[in-house]
Amino acid sequence: MARKHQTLHNALFNTASWVFSIGINFVFLPYIVARLGTESYGILVLILAVIGYFAMLELNLGQAMTKYVAEYRAKGDLAQVNDIIGSTMLLYLLLGLAGGAVIFGLADVLATRFLKVPPELQETAMAAFRVGSVGFVLTMLVTAMQSIPWGLNRYDVSSRVTMAMNLLTTLSMVGLLILGYGLLEVVLVNVAVPLLGVLTYMVICRRLLPGIRLRPVFRPGPLKTILRFGLYSSLSRLSGVLRFQADRLLTGAILGLSWVTYYVVPFSLVRKLMTVTYLVGSVILPVVSGFQGKQDHKAIVALYLKASRLITTIAICVCLPLMLFGNRFLGFWMGEEFAAQAGLVVTIITAALLVDAFTNIPSIVVDGMGRPKVTGLFSICTALINLALVYPLGKALGVSGVALAFLGSNLLVGPVFVWYANNRVLGHDLLSLVRRSYLPPLSAGAATAVLAYLLLAPLATGMLSLLAVMAATSSLFLLLACLTGAITRDELGQAVEYASPLFARFRLLSGRQP
């Protein structure tokens, strides 16, 4: 169903799905660990980790399918849409079968040699890995199927299915454990739910797009198109692995294992909070691809400027309290000794991820215009510069130096990428981007920083008061963002118009309560 505020709707549901997953784990994880036991739960985690690493075989084909389904649908070419879907499903099926066969074949080695599984659990672990190999195939198919609603600009649909699958998986695991079942049955649940997910998506996709064909097909042209996009797009994923994992290994090698903790804890905190900028920004990919299919370059530029302004606003709203009060928060949360050892890591990483957020929308728009090679190569450059800086800065400045290496790589490459995407790919004036998209939220952020430091900082005397001060800082920023034009009056009106039916429904339901 077409919606007036579909992009806002998609962004909210995409974010809600992520928050829901975190909430479900937070509530039920202690019980699952307690009933399974630490060793059996460890095996479950390792099985899911192995499946996750093999999922790197996916080559970002889902993003490719999202892009081209949106583009060809905008052109009204259902035959090409079906060829793209069928070709991508064929690739996913082949990759899934290949990865599943490897996991199945390595089950004995993983359970008895590679992993330190206790002898009494080795047989169960081997069986669990073999069952998990089937789950890998189904997980790959779910990944393929969820990209179809994305391409149809219905992230809300995929988010609902994802939330339902997460809830069903977790509640089924809890139910089995209550009934006295163990690891193998829990792994079976993680296979059965993806199968149900595939069947659910088949029904939903046929309703969203009548005439769609959901079967693998061999079409050389679409296969080449999907693979070319996916392979270049995979460079960005590889860059993410290098940037977010390799630096941890180097930190341990350069400074020692204990320093990894002082780096990873603040890094993970900031990165998790900043995930919201990607979740919100990513929903414009099918919109850009649709405009590309219609050759509507003016609409792409307009969306690019608006999305850049809003994502910058969201990023500053998240980052500003952490930059001002992050070290103090770390002291209350993890202890003053931990905060002293971690140094300025939380502040530096927050600044680095704020810089990185400026590349968010340009990356998505460039991909939507069919240029993933550009984003992939710039991403690899960022990762390589980061790795090159870690050793000298880490040796000289300790854990704060490792964080500075991450910030430095973003500062060196990020602005160049934004310039290239803006001027060379979009053909837009860079000063116009800065004036219209960056200056309003940045000016609001600067004013907020001064006011928060002078007026709010003295009020933070404990954990609760600090959290209140951080929330007040974000609220003050949003108020100033409205005054500077970072959030326009029209956008506020659209948000109110979108939320009004929800509040009306809530009041109606509340009125029916006895």
Q: 347 and 238 in one domain? A: yes
Q: What is the pLDDT of residue 448?
A: 97
Q: 82 and 209 in one domain? A: yes
Model confidence at 506, in pLDDT bands (50, 70, 90)?
low
Q: 15 and 159 in one domain? A: yes
pLDDT greater than 90 at residue 404: yes
pLDDT greater than 70 at residue 508: no
Q: What is the pLDDT of residue 514?
A: 43
Residue % of the chain over a pLDDT of 90: 63
pLDDT greater than 90 at residue 122: no
Q: 273 and 195 in one domain? A: no
Instruction: Tell which phi-psi region holds residue 76, choosing left (phi > 0), alpha (psi between -120 and 50) or beta.
Output: left
pLDDT greater than 90 at residue 346: yes
**Mean pLDDT score of the chain, rounded to an integer?**
90
> How many independent structural domains does the chain possess?
2
**DSSP state letter for 459:** G
Task: Give 167 or 117, the one with higher predicted confidence.
Answer: 167
Q: Which residues contact 162 (CB under 8 A, 6 or more apart)?
A: 17, 21, 146
Q: What is the pLDDT of residue 1?
A: 41
* In a domain? residue 223: no
Q: What is the pLDDT of residue 420?
A: 97
Please name which of 21, 313, 62, 264 lies closest in space to residue 164, comparing C-alpha atoms.
Answer: 21
- Structural domain for 491, as ranges: 232-506
Domain C-terminal end among 196, 218, 240: 218
Q: 193 and 236 in one domain? A: no
Q: 253 and 313 in one domain? A: yes
> What b-and-e string marks burial along 214-238, b requiring 16 or more CB atoms within 10 Å of the CB?
bebbebeebbebbbebbbbbbbbbe
Domain C-terminal end among 218, 248, 263: 218
pLDDT greater than 50 at residue 513: no
pLDDT greater than 50 at residue 134: yes
pLDDT digits (tens, 9 = 90+) for 59-96: 889 899 999 999 999 999 999 999 999 999 999 999 99
Q: 322 and 246 in one domain? A: yes
Query: What average pLDDT does the segment 362-383 reach?
Result: 94
pLDDT greater than 80 at residue 40: yes
* In a domain? residue 227: no
Measured between alpha carbons, how far is 180 from 34 in angstroms, rounded to an integer?
A: 13
Q: 286 and 207 in one domain? A: no
* In a domain? residue 410: yes
Q: What is the pLDDT of residue 240?
A: 83
Q: Which residues contact 479 (CB under 8 A, 6 or more apart)?
A: none
Please name which of 454, 498, 496, 499 lies closest in space to residue 476, comparing C-alpha atoms.
Answer: 454
Measured between alpha carbons, how far is 363 from 414 in angstroms, rounded to an integer?
A: 11
pLDDT digits (tens, 9 = 90+) for 252-287: 888 887 788 888 888 888 998 999 999 999 999 999
Q: 258 and 180 in one domain? A: no
pLDDT greater than 80 at residue 504: no
pLDDT greater than 60 at residue 116: yes
* Contact indicator for 54, 106 with CB cutoff of 8 Å: no
Q: What is the pLDDT of residue 339?
A: 87
pLDDT digits (tens, 9 = 90+) for 433-477: 999 999 999 999 999 999 999 999 999 889 999 999 999 999 999
* In a domain? residue 337: yes
Token pair listed for 39: 């060793």
* In a domain? residue 204: yes
pLDDT digits (tens, 9 = 90+) for 417-431: 999 999 999 999 999
Q: 158 and 31 in one domain? A: yes
* In a domain? residue 501: yes
Q: 196 and 280 in one domain? A: no
Q: 313 and 264 in one domain? A: yes
* In a domain? residue 226: no
The alpha-helical segments, DSSP class H, found in 75-154 are 78-105, 107-109, 122-151
CA distances (Å), origin 284, targets 81, 132, 304, 362, 485: 19, 34, 9, 11, 21
Domain C-terminal end among 190, 218, 246: 218
Highest mean pLDDT among 37-51, 94-108, 377-391: 377-391
pLDDT greater than 90 at residue 297: yes
Task: Give 240 or 406, the one with higher predicted confidence.
Answer: 406
* In a domain? residue 512: no
Query: What average pLDDT does the segment 406-416 reach?
Result: 96
